[in-house]
Every structure is written in C-alpha cells, then in structure tokens.
Amino acid sequence: MKLPGWLAQHWAGRDRYLILIDSPDPYGQFESLRSFWAADPQRCRDLHIVGFIDTAPDNVQRVDAHEGRVTLTLHRGPPVVTVRRMRLAADVVLFGDRSATDPRLLEWLARKASARGAQLAGPVTEQTRAVLGRLGFRPEYQSTEHLADSAALPTDALWQRSSRVVELPTARVSAGARLAIVIGAGLAGSAVAAELAQRGWEVQVFERHGVIAAEASGNPVAAFRPHLSLDDCALSRLSRAGVQALHRSLERHGAYADKLAERTGLIEVADSPDDLRRLAALAQAYSARAGKGLGEVELRDRHAASNKAGAALRSGGLWLREAGWVRPPALCARWLCEDQKGLPWASRIIVRRGVEVDDLRAEGGHWVVRDRDGNELAHSSVVVLANTQTAASLAERAGGLINALLAVPGSIGRFAIDQLPGVQCALSGAGYLLPPTAGEVIAAADYDGGPHNSNALAELLMDCPNAVVPKFGTRSSVRYATRDHLPVAGEVPVAVSLGSEVDAPLPKIARLPGLFVLTGYGSRGLVWSALLAQLVAARINGEPDPLDAALVDAVDPARFWRRDRLKRTITA
C-alpha cells in the first residue's frame, strides 16, 4: 500500500487533521491510515480518526497511538443517529457502500465535513450524486496515481464542495498555543495536566498547598465503581465511561503494575430485604444490556458474596467486576510525573507548590494569573480551573460564571490491618470497606461523618469487632458536588451572555476562549478525573470529543442556567 497523493497533499503541514470514516472495519482502516501517516515525512502533526459501529452499546471508545498524536474515536450505536449527534468538522469524509445506499446516513456524513476545503471520497452512483449534489458537492475523478491502491480508502472519486454548509468548530484555542496553566493539583488538575503533557503541551500547575492532593483527593486509598440505575441515566452512562477511561489511564501510567491501584471488584451489600430486591432489579436490568462496558454484574447470595469477599457478610449483594481501589495521592504524583517513573512527557509538567492564584484576567490576548500582591505568576492562552474552592471566584473575575456547588463533608477511618477482617474486594452499602493496602485498612460510613469506631461496619460484616477505634485516626475532608450529582467540565460561559443566550443550544452559548473548568466531582473524583481530563484536553487540542454529545451537554458548565431559564419560561 502507498499513501494516496490527494491525501498527502491535503494533510501536509497541518497541525491537526480529522478524518471521518464509514467502514465495516474501522480498526483496520485506522491501522492503514496510521501507517500512511507514520510513513509520510510531510504529514500533519496530529491525526484524528472518527468512526462508528452499528452495535448495541451506546458509548464511545478511544484508541491512541504515537503518544496520542494519532487517535481513533469509535462511536457505537445506530449509524444515522450516531453520526447526527457528532459535533465535529472533518477535513475529509471517507464513505463506502453502506452510506452510498443510505441517503440519510450519507447526508449526515457530508454535513460533518468542514467548510474549510474539506473533501469526500467514495463511490459515484446516481444516489450519491443526488444526495451530495443537493449539499453542494460534485465528483472530481482522479488519475490512478492520486487514488488509493488498496482497500483502505475509497477509490472511485473525490467530492469537492462548491458551496458552504454550516459547521461546528472543534477547536477554540489557536493552533500555535502550546502552554497551559492548571490551577489545582488534586485528581482533576493532575489528570488534565497529564493529558495535556502527553499531547505535547507545556503545563504549569499551581497548587496553593505545600503538597499535591491535599484536600478531598488526599485519602490514602479510595474505591471506584460505576453507578447503576434502572433507566441507565446520564449519571450511569457517564460513570461507566469514566471507569473505562480510568482503567486505560491506570494501565498507560503503570499504576496497576506498580500497585498504585488494583481492580478487585466490589460488592454492594444489601442492608434490608427491600434493598436486596432493588439490587436484584438492577442485576436483571443490566443483564439485558450486555456489552455496555460494565463487565460482570451479578446478584450474589450471602454465601457466594462472602466467598468472593473473603469474609462473612451480613447479606448478599450486587457484584461489580469493573471496580477496585486506587491510592489517590500516589496517582496524582504519577500523573504529574513526580515519582521518578520516567514517563516520556515528564519534562513538560512543572508543579509550583505553595503558590495561590488570587486573580485571573484577560490581557493582551492571554490569560494572566496573579498572586494576592498582584504579581504576575504566568500567562497563557489556556487556563484550566481545577481548584474547586476558588474556581467560581476566579471565573467571575475573568468575566465568566460557574454555578455554586454544595459542600459535602465526610471522613474515613484508618485502621490497622489486624483491627478488622481482611476482605479481598471492596465493599459498599451501609458502610464502606477496602482491602488492606499499604499497611492499613480504609473504612468509611457516609457523608455525615466517618467511622470513629468499627460499629459503622456492622451492617456489612458478620464478625465485625465492637467499638474498635481506628489506630491511625480519621481523615476528614469536604467534597463539592452539584445539585444534579454530575460534574462540571468544559469551557466557562461568558457571564453577560447567560441572560440573553441561555435559550440557545449549549454549544451556541458564548464562552471565554481558552478558559476551562473541572469541578463538582463530589465523592466520584476517581471515576470522573481521567475521562473529563480527556474531554477538556481534547477540546483544547482540537480533537474529537471522547464522549457523545448528550453526555458532553450533561456536564456543560452552562447547563444549570439554561435549565433554570427554560423552566421559568415554561411556568411563566
């Protein structure tokens, strides 16, 4: 196979290039395009390929190569609906026999082509002429040397646009801007710093404390698990994608290999007969959604659940395979390349501890961050607010708005290994118990307070010791959540626009260019951190979103104002 001449000319010298493919074998086409890219010395800097498969799971999968410079974003679901929901502007659309015989699918593929000189490549038939001609495209037959000599690409003709169609931009940050500022070095900030550094960005991270992961991200060990619901709501779908993204990040950063994390599974122990019936209904609902990325979800009776846990449990419960534990401070250190692991992008991240950002303003085409005395700390075209407690005030000074969050206190107990029965997997329910890790056992109760003794675990364990005080004390922290229990991730909306534009679709609401926010993670910091870091990094870097449009809207920083405005309009 050799690189088609038209493609080599089209992507030559570009910072990023996006190809939308319609192929029965998207992985195979990805490998062919990746090989073409790797062999071309005049190639684009970053190549992003988007495809789709007509399969039951309604989700998005991301595959990357060459340190993230070549990516495949694969959407799963009904083709026409899936393509219609995509928010992208492709530089080239490769279509084949499926879309050539489905006019609705072909029309939506063509509508995803960028208005800036995009090309389509695919068969010429009476139907494709009619559909694409109506959208302003005409075929241009190419000589043999300009067409592909393999099945990797369509070979009939290139289609050129003779008129413009409306497009949605994929990037709001200039291609030359490669320095980013991240404020906050907890899970949210550390994850997005890692994602940006892997994409070639130089990143400065400002942390007001003297250590990273100082607040809610500082628990020595914490569990992660997907959320389940009978209707597979946005929270469930997003958490499922979050757990999958976390798995990939942990593997890529060597966290599993170095015992910074372990996929042990989790049992949600029923606390009453009614609760057991609720869990049984969930198990039945998710068994009908096989392939949703949850892995094994099964209801286990008390005997089977106890065998899985390695300890006698009070009741049966729901077994979730795609769950486990992580050491958050160690993971933050790994993401920030501070633990001497020697990751290839380590030199691109600088962490400035004990430095509090007090002001954020747009000056001279850049964002400028200053300390309390007015001294400039840094400036950049991109700033990510991952500092939950002060993000709203900084956004306000910059001319934006972030919805107020709810403060939710909680605490954990740090027990010695010989104080509690050791379990082999994480337990949740009326209490919360993790397997022994790094010389201690972490246990928790609920948001109202942590277990100052072992009685809080009596609803989980049959042989729970009475009133044992945790040897290593307790750790308290405050988490911040939103009123819809979903996180906040994306570009900060312009404050003055929210009064006039809030009736518009979320992508059309005016934003502060280059100012992003990651906050409102609540107790699911591990679940959200990797996925939403990828979302924001993709937006900054001009990549396709790693989530479908509905879930992107579900975490949009402007969603609350739009909902409230629409609610007032309906009730007026």
**pLDDT, tens only, 294-317:** 668 999 999 999 999 999 999 999
Residue (of 454, 467, 449) closest to 421 by Cα position: 454
Is the same domain home to 496 and 372?
A: yes
Radius of gyration of the chain (CA): 25
Residue 562's pLDDT band (cuts 50, 70, 90): confident
CATH number for 470: 3.30.9.10
Is the same domain home to 34 and 118?
A: yes
Burial of 313 (0-12, 13-18, 19+ CB in 10 A): buried
Q: How large a percentage of the chain has pLDDT more than 70?
A: 88
Query: Measured between alpha carbons, how far is 485 from 483 in angstroms, rounded to an integer?
Result: 6
The domain tally of the chain equals 3
Among 132, 161, 190, which residue terminates a domain? 161
**pLDDT, tens only, 412-424:** 999 999 999 999 9
Average pLDDT over residues 32-59: 90
Phi, psi of 339 (to 5 degrees): -115, 25
Is the same domain home to 17 and 127?
A: yes
Is the same domain home to 465 and 401?
A: no
pLDDT of residue 141: 62
Maximum Cα–Cα distance for the chain, whole Å? 83
Higher pLDDT, 463 or 305: 305
pLDDT at residue 321 is higher than 80: yes
Is the same domain home to 457 and 553?
A: no
Among 427, 451, 476, which residue terminates a domain? 476
Instruction: Kindly state whether residue 236 falls inside one of the protein's structural domains.
Output: no
Is the same domain home to 380 and 500?
A: yes
Is the same domain home to 304 and 366?
A: no
pLDDT at residue 29 is higher than 60: yes
Is the same domain home to 493 and 462?
A: no
Domain that holds residue 137: 5-161
Per the DSSP assignment, residues forming a β-bridge with 298 are 319
Is the same domain home to 317 and 342?
A: no
Dihedral sign for Cα atoms in the order 373, 374, 375, 381: positive
Return the residue matching tokens 């099945």: 151
Q: Helix axis angle, 126-134 relative to 103-111, nearest 10°?
A: 40
Among 476, 501, 521, which residue terminates a domain? 476
Is the CB of residue 461 less than 8 Å from the CB of residue 433? Answer: yes
Is the same domain home to 291 and 385?
A: no
Phi, psi of 184 (to 5 degrees): 115, 130
**pLDDT, tens only, 199-229:** 999 999 999 999 999 999 999 999 999 999 9
pTM listed for this prediction: 0.90
Neighbours of 253 (CB within 10 A): 22
Instruction: Kindly state whether residue 183 falls inside one of the protein's structural domains.
Output: yes
